[in-house]
Amino acid sequence: MPTARITIATIRKMAQAGEPFASLTCYDATTARWLTRAGVHVLLVGDTAAETVFGFARTLDCPLEPLLALTAGVRRGAESAFEGAPAPEARVPLVMGDMPFMSYQARADDAVRNAGRFLTEGLADAVKLEVDESLAPVVERMVRAGVPICAHVGSRPQRSAVTGGYASAGRTDAEARQIIADARAMIDAGCPMLLVEAVPQSVTAELMTLARAGGRTVPVIGIGAGPRTDGQVLVLNDLVGLTDKPPPFVRPLASLGPAIEDAGRQWVRIVAQRAAGDSPYQPRPAAAHSKP
């Protein structure tokens, strides 16, 4: 039997049942295989690739074309996680592409087209973009075109050039009201999911109430927004100890950075000592020639 996929409907049912779901960023097929085997429900191919993959200082420098390719790689890695060794209850996570800076802000037609590319070229199940209520008409067009949108509200890293760096949001009454207004506009535009970043828990609680109003269930993913959201997401590099200074809301669960550094240092020493090991390959015997 084929391995089941986690879908938007799966995530909604989990939210309705009060069952939290886990999400992590992912940028390559190899990591996607391991996170799929770990049971992570949602893999977000985030524009944080600008920093973690491409070496930029800001997420708003993330290029669109490579991000599409990374998203497709994550999908292929997740799909291949159980090849040859199917596991009971194995499920392929929902893959979400992240629309980078200026891939949707300039022209509505380009925004809808680029969102669709994440589904066709990027093989994604859903698309995330950072929004305020002014983008509701564009988001509504995306949804009408058939693109499931996760609306990112609260702190929006793509605005770091305006704010002077990454910052929390919703800490004043005016900011909190605006975040709720942004979320309401996105729900009204048809977004099946929301993501809220770096806000006080009081704002998260109000947003959760909004996401359940009128008998609906719009799953809410949180990052630095307290433990009460339906799902939680972190940047994988922060979680596994590959970031020198992770955000204050992250508790690293591994120390892969020092482990990689140590392995690299050992390899340098092994090579310097010419101790890399003998070749495991032997010459093949010459082919026998028959006499005429």
Residues known to be catalytic: 197
Question: Which own/partner pairs from 246-255 qualify as long-range (CB within 8 Å, at least 24 positions apart)?
Answer: 247/198, 248/224, 249/198, 249/223, 249/224
Give the DSSP letter string of 172-202.
SHHHHHHHHHHHHHHHHTT-SEEEEES--HH
Give the DSSP letter string of 197-228.
ES--HHHHHHHHHHHTGGG----EEEESS-TT
Helical residues (DSSP H) of the chain, grouped into ranges: 8-16, 29-38, 49-52, 64-79, 108-120, 136-145, 160-163, 173-188, 201-211, 236-239, 256-272
Q: Which residues of 60-70 are buried (b: 16+ CB within 10 A; e: fewer)?
A: bebebeebbeb
Q: 């101790």: which residue's tokens?
A: 275
- Using CB atoms within 10 A of its CB, is residue 131 exposed (0-12), middle (13-18) or buried (19+)? buried
DSSP 99: P
CA distance 128 to 45: 9
